[in-house]
Amino acid sequence: MTNPPKASAVPIAPPPSRNARFRILAFSVLAIALAFGMTSAQAQQDVIEAHGISPFGQLKYPADFAHLDYVNPDAPKGGEISIWGFGGFDSVNPYTTKGRAVSLGSIFYESLLQGTADEASAAYCLLCSTLEYPADRSWVIFNIRPEARFSDGSPVTAEDVVFSYETFLEDGLPSYRAVLSRQVETTEVLGPRRVKFTFKQGVPTRDLPQMVGGLPVFSKADFEANDRDLEESTLEPFLGSGPYVLDEMEVGRRVVYRRRNDYWGADLPINVGRNNFDRIRIEYYADYNAAFEGFKAGSYTFRNEASSKIWATGYDFPALDNGWVVKREIADGSLATGQSFIFNLRLEKFQDERVRRAIGLMFNFEWSNETLFYGLYERIDSFWENSHLAAEGEPGPAQKALLQPLVDEGLLDPSILTVPAVMAPESGSRQLDRGNLRKASALLNEAGWTVGEDGIRRNQAGEPLTVEFLNDSQTFDRVISPYVENLGRLGIQAKMTRVDSAQMTNRERSYDFDIITNQFPMSYVPGNGLKQYFGSETADNSVFNKMGLRNPAVDRLIEVVIGADTRDELVTAVKALDRVLRSIRFWVPQWYKDAHTVAYYDMYEHPENMPPYSLGQLDFWWYNAEKAEKLKAAGAF
């Protein structure tokens, strides 16, 4: 069971599916490292010209590759795939905090570079044909493909790239503007299809060419002619160059994207075997159960199941019995999402780590997994769960070398050097684990929250300890309610408040909450995007640092991660950062599974060898017209 999808103006990292891939790329663009400026000596460096780039130089695919390894190059084009969206939407602009953005709102736009689903960090030319950069990556030049066209047929030019960058710099999300303004020194149009980014002096440039290359590109002419505004909610998409355009829309209820027959990049090696569906349709539902009923009735045709209860007990309807619907698990090698309950650290009652730790002890994952989730999940311990980057045991010598100076300066407790990495607490088979109850009670007593005759914990001022779980998901009621009961046994006045998706968005963005469910989608090669989630400078203006974390030790380690020059250095720095983040206990980690649990009407097919980092149902799956006709004839939908 995971949170249902939320449509909101969120950033991005190098993911697999189209929407996920955009979120990671956009997130990376919004939060990149500072860079060294180009000096006259550097100007004499040998310039590297390549078809792609990665943080440490290695690329899987050569310049003359024919197609990505995980696609079917002969996949037919046609048909429709339909999925569901949660709540509703009132905007197609995914780059503003105003309104609720439609799902796949970034589908119209492309960037100079694009990631793949079988490499964790590399990116290859999409709008560009090649990129040029010196060994120190103090600048980068992109050579735009002459055939690149916006959906109205106009060419993509260097001016469009510079305009898009400047628009994001002036009108992008506040946390994005704060970071980006300190990264890029200049942008230059060197020719109609040649654009240069020169980076500022100061910090490592490892990620900068790749990250600025991930910036979505809009049409300058369209923006100016139609007086568009990146900061405003709108129901008219900006003009992009992507393979899909808006076809139909019923605000808040349905949206349909149509594949362009005149898409300029259809035959590029990076696109062969992809973008196979003529139409992508999204049907919106107010709650999870209603969405499942819609799937059973054939109102939409592909479902990535996030409810363990439904997966275990709900798939017994006629369409499945008749063989019309396929139910299966597909391996997922990607990082866990970091799904967790998070505390609002801006509130005084959560300033004391002992209070946060006590509350965390009262969530019984083992009981929840057995009783509610049918044993389908594993507990999250790390922000890089399901990867080699997760901190384990006590820190080794290399990690200690990074942590010791922070201990010496009083920024970290000395115990960080000798104790194992913090793990989520274990509980017994009963809903209320009495051993954890005793531990939590002792912690609260130490923190000054003592139990009165009425069984309620109060501080010295007589104020009760209250906790509100803000929840917009019907499926989470059964998870939060037992947690609330356990906290009540501890003497905390806990409650769950149900809100709709619009209220949830507004309260999250105004930081008006005690505890919410959040996700931390990290990267295998994290960069300055870490500042968006964990940096002190973004604590009060980021839509990602929702807990309001301000910690100088974390800030320092983020800089070390950004500055890592080798993979070994990166792994050491990320493990040290993971160790420190977990020790702060601003989250109560939830769960993950290493498989996609999907169900779909039996007219879709996918490559035999699936990539590790993406399910790709909207990307490289395809439609079998013969199977679809048989289903229609049988009355499946």
**pLDDT given for residue 8 in this prediction:** 31
User: Residues 149, 154, 158, 159: what is their CA dihedral angle, to the nearest 10 degrees?
Assistant: -150
**How far, CA to CA in Å, does 281 sit from each of 103, 207, 244?**
10, 35, 12
**Mean pLDDT of all residues in 174-200:** 87
pLDDT higher than 70, residue 41? no
pLDDT tens-digit profile of 357-375?
A: 999 999 999 999 999 999 9
**This prediction's pTM:** 0.83
* The pair of three-digit structure tokens given for residue 218, joined into one six-digit string: 């809009």
Number of neighbours of residue 518 by Cβ within 10 angstroms = 19
pLDDT higher than 70, residue 1? no
pLDDT higher than 60, residue 24? no
Are the CB atoms for 491 and 455 separated by under 8 Å? yes
**pLDDT given for residue 236 in this prediction:** 96
Confidence of residue 178 (pLDDT cuts 50, 70, 90): low
Amino acid at 310: I
Higher per-residue confidence, 381 vs 175: 381
Confidence of residue 163 (pLDDT cuts 50, 70, 90): very high
pLDDT higher than 80, residue 42? no
**Mean pLDDT of all residues in 416-440:** 97
Among the ranges given (32-41, 122-131, 142-151), the one the predictor scored with the smallest mean pLDDT: 32-41
Nearest to 124 by CA among 16, 26, 217, 213: 213
**pLDDT given for residue 5 in this prediction:** 35
Helix and strand counts by DSSP (H, E) for the chain = 18, 26
pLDDT tens-digit profile of 43-57?
A: 446 899 999 999 998
pLDDT higher than 50, residue 380? yes
Query: For 102, which DSSP code?
Result: P
pLDDT tens-digit profile of 401-413?
A: 999 999 999 999 9
**Mean pLDDT of all residues in 154-173:** 92
Element (H, E) at 303: strand 302-304
Are the CB atoms for 340 and 512 separated by under 8 Å? no
* The pair of three-digit structure tokens given for residue 225, joined into one six-digit string: 């002619």
pLDDT tens-digit profile of 461-487?
A: 999 999 999 999 888 999 999 999 999
pLDDT higher than 70, residue 328? yes
**pLDDT given for residue 270 in this prediction:** 98
**pLDDT given for residue 7 in this prediction:** 31
Q: Where are the beta strands (DSSP E) in 459-610?
A: 466-471, 493-498, 515-518, 587-589, 591-592, 595-601, 604-605
> 341 - beta bridge partners?
517, 588
pLDDT higher than 60, residue 15? no
Instruction: Specify the pairing of strand 139-144 against strand 194-199.
Output: antiparallel
pLDDT higher than 50, residue 37? no
Structure-token match 């006709």, residue found = 629
* The pair of three-digit structure tokens given for residue 460, joined into one six-digit string: 């010295």
pLDDT higher than 60, residue 10? no
Confidence of residue 529 (pLDDT cuts 50, 70, 90): confident
Nearest to 209 by CA among 119, 113, 121, 126: 113
Confidence of residue 272 (pLDDT cuts 50, 70, 90): very high
Percent of the chain with pLDDT over 90: 82
Give the C-alpha separation, 9 to 30, whole Å.
12
pLDDT tens-digit profile of 570-627?
A: 999 999 999 999 999 999 999 999 999 999 999 999 999 999 999 999 999 999 999 9
pLDDT tens-digit profile of 215-241?
A: 999 999 999 999 999 999 999 999 999
pLDDT tens-digit profile of 577-586?
A: 999 999 999 9
List the domains of the chain with CATH numbers: 340-592 (3.10.105.10)
Higher per-residue confidence, 414 vs 207: 414
**pLDDT given for residue 497 in this prediction:** 98
**Mean pLDDT of all residues in 198-204:** 85
